Amino acid sequence: MLTRVVVEVLHKAEAVTGPPRVVPSRRQGASLIEACLALMIICLIFLGMFQVSRALAARDTLSHSAARVARARTVGFNQWMVRKVSRVAAIPNVGQMLEPLYVNENPALQAAVAEESPGTLWDWVVSGQLWPSFTQAQLEIARIPLYLGAANWAQAEFILDYENWDSIEILDDGDPSDTLLNISVGQNYPLTVPGSGSFYADGNVPLVGESIIENHYTLYLEDQGW
């Protein structure tokens, strides 16, 4: 009987004041903070791995540039031509195109990015289906032969130029008297991924690509040093 009375009193009190309030515990707040900290650390690690992968790809590009320089040297191109070859081969590392001025707006490509899934877009890129939409790439490819044929720096920079092209440097173009040409191309590669400063505060990382090739141009050409 007493129990029934107590239950009725509690029901009446709940009807008047509403259900009892649940007060969050301190442990729940601590768990939320811990989850935020863990998520932040995971994001930094992911961004760091992404930046490292970009740096490794940039080093491979410099190795390709060194290989093109080695080939240009071994067939007897002069230093001006070798310098242009090194820059063209390193285009993936040098950022935004500055010359010619081009507004990269493509409605068809923008619509595909907005409407299609990432997997579908990736399949289209791999299959070449999106290639006609990359008008800037086609413009760059058309300008490269003109750039390689330029007679001086002023003409060359008017034809084609990039944001970080000056960061590409031939560190060693080989000794004409050596049987093997050991070519090195370097760059202070800019770290542009957000959060990179948490791992490497300098903002740029020095990268070097190397290539070795047999030196045979001295058999039929004389190096004039220009």
Determine, yes or no, domain membership for 226: no
Determine, yes or no, domain membership for 76: yes
Helix, strand, coil percentages (3-state) for the chain, rounded to 5, are: 60, 15, 30
Determine, yes or no, domain membership for 60: yes
Task: Give the range of the structural domain holding residue 113, as residue numbers without chain letter.
Answer: 29-219
Determine, yes or no, domain membership for 2: no
Global confidence as pTM: 0.74
Output the tens digit of pLDDT for each of the chain's 226 residues.
Answer: 545 554 565 555 555 555 555 555 566 667 778 888 888 888 888 888 888 899 999 999 999 999 999 998 888 888 899 999 999 999 999 999 998 888 777 777 778 888 888 888 888 877 777 776 677 888 899 999 999 999 998 899 999 999 999 999 999 877 777 788 889 999 999 888 887 777 777 788 999 999 998 887 766 666 666 5
- C-alpha neighbours within 13 Å on the C-beta side of residue 35: 6
Structural domains in the chain (count): 1
3-class SS letters over 102-167: CCCCCHHHHHHHHHCCHHHHHHHHHHCCCHHHCHHHHHHHHHHHHHHCCCCHHHHHHHCEECCHHH
